[in-house]
Amino acid sequence: MLNIYGFDFTDPANIGWTGGTFSRETSTVRNGTHSYKGTGTLASATSPSFGNKGTIYAGIAVYWQSVASAAKCIGFVDGSTLQVCVTIETDGTLKVRRGTESGTVLCSSSSGVFTVNTWHHLQLYCVVHGSAGAVELRLNGTNVASASGINTSNTGNAYANKFAMYGCAGFNYAYYDDLWISDTAFQGDCKVETIYPSANGTTNNFNVSGAASNYLCVDETGDYNSDTDYTYDANVGDKDLFAMGNLATVSGTVKGVRINTVMRKDDTGTKQAAMVVRNAGVESVRTTNTLTTTYTVYQEDLTTDPTSGSAWSIATVNSVEIGAKVIT
């Protein structure tokens, strides 16, 4: 997994998404508490870079209010330029094009497959190449359009490094939820569920501010509340771990886990901290982060449980503790 995002925790702009006329929405969601809403054809939202990938897959739930005119929906981007995109046509046809909504049609579904005012699940696969490229588009699990031996490189580079989504025509809304991005395979129709600290963990060395218990300082849902309440510490090696709430909507196979921690420093000099994962008595200290004086969301996507090297399961997600450790 290169990206897992249900739009439930924090505004995408806080984690590197760019674009305009998109906002988090609570009234029309497929799963969890939020979706991401684009207003009009000028709306766009582009993910942070996942590195240059010649082969890329993505899946996302899509809800469009109307298709007044043909418009691009999702696509893979090189820098700031679309390599390929999916367009939704006025007759409900889905087309994969090189470049933008006016680009060369690489493959097309039959008409009427996409309907408005209901959730659909799209999966897009692309091999980016000037002559040996390939694309496949799946709608609700079914292959509706594909092609190979084609030019899928709009920029001349044989890779993409970002994912993008767009608003629908007019002043209507396009909603998106449950995004995954992978460089290995189709992952299917996945739910992305966000869970939050629900109790203190095995170790809580940090001090508290604004609440009576450590986990109560960091249990805000939807977004962090800056300095309203928080935990803090300056002693190298100290840790603050939290038991997480159980999964409620996800069932079956767990494809991956994204861990998030919001941290800053309040002193001069270099201050570093790392996220910590603990399960079954084993701890894994993750990447060291050099903190700034501004709250920053630090994230890591974990395909396997780092404390065991085994695939995640419902049970191991429900038993995990997540937290932070002072490094310097």
Q: SS3 letters for the chain?
A: CCEEECCCCCCHHHHCCEEECEEEECCCCCCCCCEEEEECCCCEEECCCCCCECEEEEEEEEEECCCCCCEEEEEEEECCEEEEEEEECCCCCEEEEECCCCCCEEEECCCCCCCCCCCEEEEEEEECCCCCEEEEEEECCEEEEEEEEECCCCCCCCCECEEEEECCCCCCEEEEEEEEEECCCCCCCCCCCCCCEEEEEEEECCEEECCCCCHHHCCCCCCCCCCCCEEECCCCCCEEEEEECCCCCCCCCCCCEEEEEEECCCCCCCCEEEEEEEECCEEEEEEEEECCCCCEEEEEEECECCCCCCECCHHHHHHCEEEEEECC
| pLDDT attached to residue 126 | 99
| pLDDT attached to residue 68 | 84
How confident is the model over 107-143, as pLDDT tens digits? 999 999 999 999 999 999 999 999 999 999 999 999 9
Mean of the pLDDT values across residues 21-48?
95
| pLDDT attached to residue 40 | 87
CATH 3.40.718.10 fits 3-182, yes or no: no
How confident is the model over 259-305, as pLDDT tens digits? 999 999 999 999 999 999 999 999 999 999 999 999 999 999 999 99
